[in-house]
Amino acid sequence: MIHIEDNRVRSLLFTGNFGLEKESLRILPDGTLSHTLHPFPNDKHIVYDFCENQTEINTSVADSAEKAVQLLSDHTVHIQKTLAAMETRELLWPFSNPPYIRNEKDIPIARHDDKAIYQKGYREYLAERYGRYKMSLSGIHVNYSFSEELLRADHALGDPRDFREYKNDLYLMLAEKLAEYGWIITALTAASPLLDSSYIEKGVLGRTSFNGMASTRCSELGYWNHFVPIFDYSDIRSYADSIRKYVDNGLIASETELYYPIRLKPAGKNNLERLKQEGVDHIEIRVVDLNPLEPSGINLLDLKFIQALMIWLVSTPGEPFDEKDQVQVVQNFKSAAHYDLKTVKIVAPDREAISVVDAGLAVIEEMKAFFREYPEEIRQALSFEEQKLLDPEKRYAWIIRREYGDGFVEKGLALAEQRQEEAVDV
């Protein structure tokens, strides 16, 4: 745990670095998916992953939540202006769930040159294993690292380990505790309750569907492997090796196929050998939906809450965490993706079954007590999230269902047009 009793450590708790990744589909004004080539071939911050028509923003590292959201907004504006100026104008779809999908050809596997032939083969494998439709789901990944100054100050308080080992162990503890508590992020940022009928029934376009989920991509219908992974959190080499075994035994083709809500990553290229040799650089949280109510795709207070949650987790004692618990936490994430959080239960770290609402309120209550002497902006973020649990009408999924439930794609297109007009005027 971080030594919060030390004044210097406590003063540095909120110093850290953010990097945001945001996926969004490029579409035509009629609500169908674009079939043009990726229009940002030379922009290192705007790339694509599985789908040729799915842009992915990778922001630079920012030292505050405000700066991270601003960077995301700037890149989003650039994309919007580029799409508006194309010979055949395109739009940026603001939702995690796709609009019309006529068939699998609407989700083209990203094209790669001969130097990246493996990437094409790997994506063809993913398409066969998980289905292309699932690959059209979009979201935001939050990457975070504690500042070097904070970690050095904490390590200097008599820790016998060398700094790299100390740092690895701290992030391993955080990854373990986020596996236990990260479901609350899903519950509070879920924003994809609606689907077009074409996602469910091929060729049937234009009917709005609601399947009881607040976040399709984080629910049992979304991105999950066909098995529940078990990790060894005892040290970074054991952690990496516990992932490698799933590649070696053929359950996944690569470590990047591990669709788990939390990842520990090294600096630079992400692979397990670098993680073992160079250690952890940052942690990645992969369960945030696109928020169509925000032009950038994410609410600043949500990002501040995620930061506060991580600080709280590394500053408080944990509970025993065995293989049975690791299986349970995966179900907790899926349960938190449901629409009515009062009727769905999770199993808390004390192994008591409790509704997501009650469990979430208990977490926020503990966080409010922990941060009671911290700046008002932290307490504001906690109150913002608490209100979503107290009043479901304030949750994004409930707002979206209310406003778009009688015409998801049609009304979504009007919002996409509005967002583009706003960006072009910037």
Report d(CA 89, CA 182) in Å as an integer. 39
| pLDDT more than 90, % of the chain | 87
Q: For helices 163-181 and 323-336, give the axis angle rounded to 10 degrees.
A: 60
Q: What is the pLDDT of residue 112?
A: 61
Question: What would the pLDDT profile of 183-220 be if each residue is shown by its tens digit?
Answer: 999 999 999 999 999 999 988 999 999 999 999 999 99
- pLDDT at residue 267 is higher than 90: yes
| Domains, the chain, ordered by start | 7-424 (3.30.590.20)
Q: What is the pLDDT of residue 270?
A: 87
Interval 138-150 mean pLDDT: 98
Burial code (b: 16+ CB inside 10 Å, e: under 16) for 26-58 equals bbbeebbbbeeebbbeebeebbbbbbbbbbbbb
DSSP assignment of 142-195, as one string? EEEEE-HHHHHHHHTTT--S-HHHHHHHHHHHHHHHHHHHTHHHHHHH--B-EE
Nearest to 47 by CA among 29, 22, 30: 22
Q: What is the pLDDT of residue 299?
A: 98
Report d(CA 337, CA 213) in Å as an integer. 6
Q: What is the pLDDT of residue 115?
A: 47
Confidence grade of residue 19 (pLDDT, cut at 50, 70, 90): very high
- pLDDT at residue 145 is higher than 50: yes
Report d(CA 223, CA 130) in Å as an integer. 9
Q: What is the pLDDT of residue 93?
A: 98
Interval 338-345 mean pLDDT: 97
In this structure, of 51-60, 124-133, 264-273, the range with the lowest mean pLDDT score is 124-133
- pLDDT at residue 34 is higher than 60: yes
Confidence grade of residue 118 (pLDDT, cut at 50, 70, 90): low
